[in-house]
Amino acid sequence: MTTEKIGIILGIKPSNPLEFWVGVQEGYFVQLDEVLFTETDMDGEKVKFYGIVHEVAKFLEGVEFVYDAQLVGKGMIPANTAYIARVAVTRIEPEVFIPPSPGDPVFRAKGKDLEKAMYYDSMKRKIPAGVSRTGDVVYINYDFVNGREGAHISISGMSGVATKTSYALFLMYSILKKADDRKNIHGIIFNVKGKDLFWIDKRNKNFGEDDKEKFLRMGLDPNPFTDVGFYSPPEKEGSNVPSVKERLEDVKVYRWSMYDFAKEGLLKFLFAEGDEGVSTLNYVIDRVTERLYHLARQSPQGRLIDEVGRDIESLADLRERLREYVETAKDRGDTYKEWFGTASLSTVYAFLRRLDHAVTHTRNLIHGHVNNPIDWRERRLTVIDISDLHSIGKMFVVGSILKRIFKEKEESGNPYPKIFVVLDELNKYAPRDRWSPIKDILLDIAERGRSLGVILIGAQQTASEVEKRIIANAAVKVTGRLDSTEVMNKEYEYLMGNFRQRAMMLKKGSMILYQPDIPNPIMINFPFAPWATRKEEVEEDVAVPEDFHNF
């Protein structure tokens, strides 16, 4: 590949081992995010400096006054247009920390030089993350995603503008197609908005040739997701019809039986709002959870039977039993203590009020003796719809599924098959300053999931409102369009130089990527996807008879 010289190291600006200034020669241009390199001589040994353009500027040399530019344009004053660029150094080969010398030639990094500048040559395993502004493929070191060196991905950005879910889907596709262990990987995606993800196995009729070319350039198959399983809550209590009206084929209903609800200790996931810091209430929740588990162990498989032999077939039944125990507390004191311990009546009534609220919003999820679990092992990718559920229902589904997965992985002790969990609205499920019933589970995944093979791809509008240990444990950070107040928080300290300002101007499809291998953030674009995200985008399948051409 021909090396293209574009300028020289400036002598009027100081250079150091971490950055240098380039004078762009006439007839050439340099833009932000381009990768350049220069070579200097040190006692007969060549030292190469690789870097990314972080700033470009033009000005007139030889003028003194503000409006002299008009006179230069008319040819009345001689002046030269200076075109300069500031380059942040990413790598020095060999690692000798000296500054490059003024006058040293500067080149565009292509081929092997680009791989060295971006550390691609030292990445044993890598996956495509998008393309750069110059059209080069940008990679993520997969070892910092799947747990070998680090794990987890954090994606931040404004709702509707930052395309967080779209980019999370793209990364999931890239992992399933290009990861070295892809045959032993499963993905779980929670569909939190609309029914967008129920069409990702269908071709998008708006997918164009330019986007196809970008997919091929990244080595990705330009086709929709395959081997996808879809799950939806039932449309109503006791129904086997999924709540997804637009698509009924290949969609399974998920629900919990009262037996599994009790045995798995899922009661706490019904208390999602307004309960932070209420230690006495949490005491009651723990007591009732323990009692339900005890009943489940004593009951026949699939049924939940109370102390006097009555079936508890729904949350409404459970609520009525608990009210009965409270109202007969004086006559049946032992039963009260078995369920509520030493809690006062006022605390128990507060618990029942919240339980009554939860029953209203989750009655279709927890009912009867039939358990319809989500089998994430059945397909390579599993989409779980929670979009129509109340916030309590969403919290219950996410918490219950993640608890079951984490428990299975702990019991197996084997990181494979690895599970990638894509969860949007992370600031709601693991808020920094508030209590959440699934916050501890997400913390466990962030801190121990790497060794167990549970990887989180979390997305949120505001990383500053997410539990800081979850954000801190994400090895790869991606930023879309951010609000001006949000971008100033310390969670975005990795946005060095002018990247904070640029984060407020990003368009859809543009993201800023930061990963441990590369000391500087990188601006990337990801192409329009070949899969549909709404029903009206689905390309119709036209069946052609076998004998059509013999007609």
Q: pLDDT digits over 204-256, tens only?
A: 999 999 999 999 999 999 999 999 999 999 988 888 888 888 887 889 999 99
Q: Are strands 418-423 and 185-191 parallel, antiparallel or unpaired?
A: parallel
* 295, 330, 362 - which closes a domain: 362
Nearest to 129 by CA among 519, 513, 543: 513
What integer pLDDT is reported at residue 78 of this predicted model? 63
Amino acid at 158: M
How many Cα atoms within 13 Å fall on the side-chain side of residue 142?
17
Same domain, 456 and 507: yes
Q: How far apart are CA 82 and CA 24, in angstroms?
A: 8
What integer pLDDT is reported at residue 90 of this predicted model? 94
Question: Would 123 be classed as within a structural domain?
Answer: no
Question: Would 32 be classed as within a structural domain?
Answer: yes
CB-based burial, 446-456: b 16+ in 10 Å, e otherwise? beebbebbbbb
Sign, CA dihedral 312-315-317-319, equals positive
What integer pLDDT is reported at residue 91 of this predicted model? 95
Mean pLDDT, residues 419-442 taken together: 90
User: For residues 23 and 74, is the Cβ–Cβ distance under 8 A?
Assistant: no
Least trusted range by pLDDT, from 195-209, 318-332, 422-436: 318-332
Nearest to 351 by CA among 333, 369, 336: 336
What integer pLDDT is reported at residue 334 of this predicted model? 78
Tokens describing residue 429: 């499920």
Same domain, 442 and 353: no
Provide the number of structural domains found in the chain: 3
Question: Would 368 be classed as within a structural domain?
Answer: no
Give the Cβ contact number of residue 460 at 10 Å: 24
What integer pLDDT is reported at residue 76 of this predicted model? 65
Phi, psi of 519 (to 5 degrees): -75, -5
What integer pLDDT is reported at residue 539 of this predicted model? 86
Least trusted range by pLDDT, from 65-74, 209-218, 429-438: 65-74
Same domain, 355 and 419: no
Same domain, 388 and 492: yes
SS3 328: coil
pLDDT above 60 (res 108) = yes
pLDDT above 90 (res 161) = no
pLDDT above 70 (res 542) = no
Same domain, 503 and 408: yes
User: For residues 275 and 435, is the Cβ–Cβ distance under 8 A?
Assistant: yes
User: What are the beta bridge partners of residue 263?
Assistant: none
Q: Which domain holds residue 340?
A: 258-362
What integer pLDDT is reported at residue 24 of this predicted model? 94
Question: Would 473 be classed as within a structural domain?
Answer: yes
Question: Would 441 be classed as within a structural domain?
Answer: yes
Same domain, 180 and 313: no
Tokens describing residue 370: 């039939």
User: What are the beta bridge partners of residue 35?
Assistant: 52
SS3 129: strand
What integer pLDDT is reported at residue 371 of this predicted model? 83
* Ranges assigned E (strand) in 299-389: 381-385
Nearest to 514 by CA among 488, 478, 482, 490: 478
How many Cα atoms within 13 Å fall on the side-chain side of residue 283?
12
Least trusted range by pLDDT, from 26-40, 67-81, 386-400, 434-448: 67-81
pLDDT above 80 (res 545) = no
Nearest to 291 by CA among 229, 324, 239, 340: 340
Same domain, 423 and 516: yes
pLDDT digits (tens, 9 = 90+) for 250-295: 899 999 999 999 999 999 999 875 444 456 888 899 999 999 999 9
Same domain, 346 and 411: no
* Ranges assigned E (strand) in 18-124: 19-24, 35-42, 45-61, 80-93, 105-108
Same domain, 453 and 498: yes
Reported confidence tier of residue 336, pLDDT bands at 50, 70, 90: confident
What are the C-alpha distances in Å from 144 to residues 74, 298, 455?
57, 46, 11
Same domain, 383 and 527: yes
Tokens 């300290």 belong to residue: 493
Mean pLDDT, residues 24-51 taken together: 92
Same domain, 528 and 384: yes
* 362, 389, 417 - which closes a domain: 362
* 68, 84, 117 - which closes a domain: 117
Question: Would 540 be classed as within a structural domain?
Answer: no
Mean pLDDT, residues 482-496 taken together: 92
Kindly give, in sequence order, each residue whose CB lies less than 8 Å from that of residue 44, ignoring residues fewer than 6 positions away. Answer: none
Kindly give, in sequence order, each residue whose CB lies less than 8 Å from that of residue 358, ignoring residues fewer than 6 positions away. Answer: 270, 271, 315, 392, 396
Question: Would 265 be classed as within a structural domain?
Answer: yes
Nearest to 185 by CA among 378, 374, 380: 380
Q: How far apart are CA 11 and CA 293, in angstroms?
A: 76
Reported confidence tier of residue 48, pLDDT bands at 50, 70, 90: very high
Same domain, 415 and 475: yes
What are the C-alpha distances in Å from 353 to residues 261, 346, 348, 402, 549?
20, 11, 9, 27, 69
Nearest to 235 by CA among 363, 359, 374: 363
pLDDT above 90: percentage of residues in the chain: 70
SS3 385: strand
Tokens 């569909």 belong to residue: 191
What are the C-alpha distances in Å from 532 to residues 223, 261, 383?
10, 35, 14
Question: Would 374 be classed as within a structural domain?
Answer: no
What integer pLDDT is reported at residue 80 of this predicted model? 74
